[in-house]
Every structure is written in C-alpha cells, then in structure tokens.
Amino acid sequence: MRIIRLEALSDNYIFLLHDSKHNIAAVVDPAEAEPVLKKLAELKAELVAIFNTHHHNDHVGGNKELIQHFPKVIVYGGAEDRGRIPGQQVFLQQGDRVEFGDRAGDVIFVPGHTRAHIAYYFPPATFGELGELFCGDTLFAGGCGRLFEGTPTQMVSSLNKLRSLPDDTHVWCAHEYTLKNLQFALTVDSENTDLQKRFDEVKVYRSRGEATVPSLLGIEKRTNPFLRWEQPSLQSSAKSSEPVQTFARIRGMKDKF
C-alpha cells in the first residue's frame, strides 16, 4: 500500500492509498474531488473506498463528486456522524475493522474535536515496517484539534488512545499547521530540547515549501504539548498538577495564540 499526499484547499491534506496489485485506491478525508480525480486518472486506478474521519466540510467536501464518478465506492465514517457525512454507508465504532486490498485498519473512536470523530490505524503489514495512523483533526503534528463538540476529558482520553500506539507510526494528520503549532509549543515547553530541534527543522522545511506530514508518533510523544499533560514543564505552564486540567488550560492558551 503506497500512500500519496495531495494538497487541497488552503492547508488541507488528502491521503490517497494505492494498491497497485489490485489497481484500486482509497482516499482519506477528500476535502475536494478535483485533486483526487486527477491522481486517480494518472494511476488508472479505481476508487473503492472513502474513509472519512469526521463531518467537517474540509474533510467530506469531495464525497459527492467522487461518488458520481465511482458509483460503487463505499463511504465510511463514524457511527455518531450518521446524517452528517454525504453518502455515508458504513457506520464505524471503536474496534471495528476496515479493509482495503490486502490491508486492514483498526477504527479508533476519538471524540473531542467533534463528538463523532474516528481515526484509522493500519498496523505494519510486515515486521520492520511502520504503522499508518490517519487521525483527521484530532492529533496534529505539534498540536491537536480545537474542541468544537467535545470536552477536555474526552479529548485527553482520545489522545491517550493514539499515544498508546507504537513510536514507529506515521502520523497522517489532515492539515499543515506544524510550524504555528510548534511556535506555540515553545511558549509552554520552552526547555524541551527535542522541541527546539524540531522547530528549527520544521522552519527549514517550510521555508522550502516542503510538507511536514507525515510525522512520527515517537516525535509527537516527545514534543507535542497536547500529548504531555503529565510532564512537570507543561503542568507548570498550566499552573496545575492535574492532567486533564493541564491539557484544558494549554488548549485554552492555544485557542488565543
């Protein structure tokens, strides 16, 4: 399974999964149809699945047009998103599995950004490969999604599920927000040398116009303030010794950053 990153709208990424053996493709969070159709034509592949993480328009905006071009495509989304995702046919819950070609992905229920948000995790197919996590707007490189429909308690529990995956996991998040996220992270975790190093690297990548997605979960665990609610440095910035309150206060500071 090859993963192709497509740019969409102002800062969205769409991920196209390509199985060249079966000549099929799937797409994660098609913000718009046009870049997907273009790449599918280039690959001469048939679109068999749309994996949506949540109902926001910058994640499902391309569904309708893709269904028109590929009437047999199956549209997946969270069970709680019933009625909010155009064309949705499969309603997924924590622990469900999805299949694409020879690969299977686990569904992780991660409410917080929205009340219905799910993530898809494809474990390594063979020993030594990396797992692939498609986490929408829940976990970002260096940040996390805003809490539109969920509570800090829910979001901490959701992020904790993602944090429990192996360090060697690609994090395919849906937006290029990394530089701004790390700028904020430094204000609440200023002594973190891994974070300082990452910020310097990301500055260089972005100045060359390069993408910072996917990132690695191991790096997120060391540098992302929204996975570090037990760290003394973050608790001191949040003036709290309680994990959920630490997360909530740091999230509140980011909302105003």
Distances (CA, A) of 29 to 6, 128, 166, 213, 218: 11, 27, 23, 15, 24
Residue 81 as a binder of Zn ion (CB under 5 A): the answer is no
Residue 117 as a binder of Zn ion (CB under 5 A): the answer is no
Residue 29 as a binder of Zn ion (CB under 5 A): the answer is no
* Nearest CA among 76, 42, 38 for reference residue 59: 76
Tell me if residue 71 falls in helix, strand or coil. coil
Residue 96 as a binder of Fe ion (CB under 5 A): the answer is no
Candidate segments 33-41, 42-50, 137-145, 154-162, binder of Fe ion by CB under 5 A: 137-145
Count of residues in contact with Fe ion, rule CB under 5 A: 2
Determine which residue in the list 137, 176, 189, 220 makes contact with Fe ion, applying CB under 5 A: 137
Cβ proximity to Zn ion: between 12 and 223 the closer is 12
Determine which residue in the list 55, 56, 198, 222 makes contact with Zn ion, applying CB under 5 A: 56
- What is the contact mask toward Zn ion in residues 131 to 150, using x (rule: CB under 5 A)? ------x-------------
Residues 53-82 that bind Fe ion (CB under 5 A): 58
Residue 220 as a binder of Fe ion (CB under 5 A): the answer is no
Q: Which residues pair with 47 in a beta bridge?
A: 25
**Continuous segment of H or E residues that includes residue 250:** helix 243-255
Spatial separation of the C-alpha atoms in residues 80 and 95, rounded to whole Å: 14
DSSP 100-168: ETTEEEEEEE--SSSTT-EEEEE--SSTTPPEEEEEETTEETTEE---SSS-HHHHHHHHHHHHTS-SS
Cβ proximity to Zn ion: between 151 and 233 the closer is 151
Cα dihedral 230, 231, 232, 237, rounded to 10, equals -90
Cβ proximity to Zn ion: between 18 and 117 the closer is 117
Residue 140 Cβ, how far from Fe ion at the closest point, in Å?
Answer: 10
Residues at the contact surface with Zn ion, assessed by CB under 5 A: 56, 137
**What residues form the annotated binding site for Zn(2+)?**
54, 56, 58-59, 113, 137, 175
